[in-house]
Structure 1
Amino acid sequence: MQTWHADVIIIGGGLVGSTLALALARHDVTSIVVDTQDLDTTTTAAFDGRASAVASASGRMLRALGLGDIIDTHGCPIGEIRVTDAAHPQFLHFDAGEGNDPLGTMVENRHLRTGLLAAVRNCPEVTLLAPVTVASLVRDDHAATLTLADGRSFRAALAVACDGRRSPTREAAGIPIAQFHYPHAALITMVSHSVPHGNVACELFYPQGPLALLPMLDSEDAGNGARPRTAIVWTVDGKHMAAAKKLGPKQLAAEIAARCDGTLGEIEVIAPQTVWPLGYHHAARYTDNRLLLLGDSAHGIHPIAGQGLNMGFRDVAAAAEVLTNAARNGLDLGSPDVLAQVSAWRRFDNSLVCAVTDGLNRLFALPGRVPSRVRRIGLSAVERLPPLKNFFMNQARGETGKLPALLKGELV
């Protein structure tokens, strides 16, 4: 049977895998993208209902790849971020400032998937195969060969795993991960409300877990006019996960209203709630023989700061720059030296974000008056120290460390 060839095989056609394919295609690096899912089903509102905070740097990359319409049409800019210990009036405040890029943009994942899927299908340098079943991935000194259950075979210099937290590709390669499960779950839904959010994102920390209020575009309601919307990420005790799933819309609205202390006014739940167990993992290494891990296949963190997807986008930007430079210079894309450059570029940044998010979650989970007092003193200190405050603001924007060209809005 015939074997098809490309420069790169990408396993996983989600947000990270599709973006990588488009970034490589800008420099005529061809890819074959395979996914076990019917990707059209992932573009529906019923798929999972999640929304992501696309950091400013990630947004510049999407614009450079011709995907700015997703953000302009479906995104709600975040102009301010407020961080509080519970509903205490003293808070840490980040402001994008007049004339600057927003701190991020809230976009429903289905809109990101829809735009990326259309772009991939219209890209001649990308071959998308989904849904398919992978029978084997064989990696030797010369190439990576992927065979599907139907017998079709594909060969490339490099295989890139973008197949999620439970990455079968990573597991088959025997790459160990450091991992643990948090004793919490994330309840995710969407609410409409009577008080405008003013493009302000709020993170309210309670010992039981944080509550994130993330501004979305107003709803389209022809009968009553548009109403403000906010995405909710409420961290609940894992023991209460089953009960949280059973909360009716009115009960859930009352629980959210009680925790945000009237910030949003009258609240109505307008989307089903989904509940996700929370965990942490980080691969011991990002590379193996002719294999590179990116996105959730390499790392997964607590959603406390909304950085999970942005870490994956930063992986893409760095990998695309290294791989396209290697292709331009006639190098073997799967060589250890090339893959080591990607790993070295991303390892420190990912490790830092993993440590910070885990540390914040554990710090704010400590119960009692003394830890609460310490947290408030800490928030006040950060508010009064511009260098420290700027560090956290740059983290939110995705602008720390050596930035790949795509995160600056430039093509490699």
Structure 2
Amino acid sequence: MTANVPRVVVAGGGLAGLSLSLALKDALADGVDVVMADPALKRDPHGDKRAYAIAAAARRMLETLGVWDAVADKAQPILDMVITDSSLNDPVRPTFLTFEGEVAEGEPFAHMVTAGDLTAALIEASKTAGVSLRSEGVTKFAADPARVTVTFSGGESIDASLLVAADGARSRLREQAGIGWISWPYHQSGIVATILHERDHEGRAVEHFLPSGPFAILPLKPETQPDGSVKHRSSIVWSEKTKNVPALLESDPEDLLVELEKRFGLQLGKIAFETKPQAFPLSFGVARSFVGERLALLGDAAHVIHPIAGQGLNLGLQDAAALAETIADALRLGLDPGTADVLEGYERTRRADITAMGLMTDGLNRLFSNDLLPVRLIRDLGLGLVDRMPGLKRFFIREAAGLTDRDTPRLLKGEAL
């Protein structure tokens, strides 16, 4: 860091951290030195086969940053969504709510894309933009009113104006800063896998509300094989009571497939696992503050929510858009981006959205993850009423797409910083 060029160090090379790094260099070019540090940068990003729903607002940001074109042909638009509510063994799962998938003509409210493809595109764009990529972690930092000194796992230390902790829900940097963490477990685990099926999903996403937790089927881009056949694929997010998960994952593959069929259904024909199922504990968590002395928290380091609405990654990308705008605007005004006055703007911008989304997902999970008959009757009545109110359905779709009427960061509107 020189007297004329401030430096921002981003610790954590996930999708949110990479998006922030690229956004800063895209907006300010040589006006800022951006260092991205993560040991995972040593690995081939294409090995990550997890799939994410990228909401329309996040897609607009990626388009503005010149990244979306690199993944567009691999991304599957979600064209509509169906929501059911039933017990696991009910012979029929009635549809209570449907959503059309467009927020505007020709613009789906979300696309499914694999983490590996998007990570690779962001890394390549970041290199081209001039982000300094370091394949090592940040082990510690020391902040004072003038700077933050960041130490890497290789032993080198550098000074910066701001350190961004994007190092996940168990953030060591958040802990080192003494920022508290409010959390509670859901006693559920999310089982994720890619599923092969005989018939075309036609871009439809399905959310089955079941007593043990929601079961989501999310469409992936079909793959054409060398012999001309088409491989139809979907991603699943199977929320299950944590106590049941070890027995499920350790069972015979055929027995596990039988359990999957009970939840997946037969509407897409014969199914099979393409990837090995993996399970992750589900919980709610939020930092007591999103900022510290010359420190800003980003993504999962700041908040973790239930995947029931598929918004976890999108919240992280919204963080990146908001923080990039805060830093860019400050630097253009000649301000120090690491000062409390500047960082309070980021805290204020994100706190309300995170609180609202966290409460909504927590409430939905508690409402739908049970099989009490009176509760089922009330919630199904509510779903049915929403299905008959086009205006309210459009509102929910725009909220899910990140296209709210609130103070939306410019990148999420598709506007350059």
What TM-score, normalized by structure 2, do the two folds share?
0.93
> What CA distance in whole angstroms lies between the structure 2 residues aligned with 1:351 and 1:7?
30
| CA-CA distance at 1:266 after TM superposition | 1.1
The answer to whether the Cα contact below 8 Å between 2:71 and 2:121 also exists between their aligned partners in 1 is no
Note if contact 2:185-2:282 (Cα within 8 Å) is conserved in structure 1: yes
2:66 is equivalent to residue 66 of structure 1: yes
Q: What CA distance in whole angstroms lies between the structure 2 residues aligned with 1:70 and 1:264?
A: 29
Structure 2 residue 284 is the aligned partner of structure 1 residue 280: yes
Aligned mate of 2:262, from 254, 258, 262:
258
Q: Is 1:31 equivalent to 2:31 in the alignment?
A: no
Tell me the equivalent position of 1:156.
160
Confirm or deny: 8 A CA contact 2:249 2:256 kept in the other structure.
Answer: no
Alignment gaps of 5+ in structure 1: none
Shift of 1:192: 1.3
1:122 corresponds to: 128
Residue 386 of structure 1: CA displacement? 3.1
* Displacement after TM superposition at 1:40 (Å): 4.1
Q: Which residue of the partner structure matches residue 410 of structure 2?
A: 405
Deviation sequence 1:261-320 (CA, Å, 0-9, x none): 322211121111111111110001111111111100000011111100000000111111
Q: Report the TM-score when normalising by structure 1.
A: 0.94
Native 8 Å contact 2:80 2:203 kept in 1:
yes
Deviation for aligned residue 1:14: 1.2
Which deviations, in whole Å up to 9, do the C-alpha atoms of 1:141-172 show, x marking residues without a partner? 00111022433221111111111000100000
CA contact (8 A) 2:150 2:158 kept: yes
Whichever residue aligns with residue 24 of structure 1, its letter is: L
> What is the CA–CA distance in structure 2 between the aligned matches of 1:40 and 1:344, rounded to whole Å?
35
- TM-fit CA distance, 1:369: 1.9
Overall identity of the aligned pairs, in %: 37
8 A contact 2:287–2:302 mirrored in 1: yes
Counterpart residue number, 1:79: 79
Contact 2:11/2:138 (8 A) holds in 1:
no
Return the alpha-carbon distance in structure 1 between the equivalents of residues 43 and 157 of structure 2.
26
- CA shift at 1:223, angstroms? 4.0
Task: Tell me the distance in 2 between the aligned counterparts of 1:369 and 1:135.
Answer: 51
- Which among 382, 387, 397 is matched to residue 386 of structure 2? 382
1:105 and 2:104 correspond: no
Asked if 1 retains the 8 angstrom alpha-carbon contact of 2:41 and 2:134, the reply is no
1:210 alignment partner, SS class: strand
Counterpart Cα distance in 1 of 2:33 and 2:360: 36
Among 27, 43, 46, the alignment partner of 2:45 is: 43
- How far 1:248 moved relative to its partner? 4.3
Residue type of the partner of 2:96? Answer: F
Partner amino acid, structure 1, of 2:95: Q
Give the deviation of 1:41 after TM superposition. 2.4
Alpha-carbon contact 2:82-2:98 (below 8 Å) kept: yes
Trace 1:134-149 onto structure 2 (pairs within 5 A): 134-149=138-153
- Partner SS for 1:233: strand
Q: 1:17 to 1:331 in 2, by over 3 A?
A: same
Partner of 1:20: 20
Give the number of aligned pairs. 406
- Superposition pairs for residues 263-342 of structure 1, below 5 Å? 263-342=267-346
CA-based RMSD: 2.0
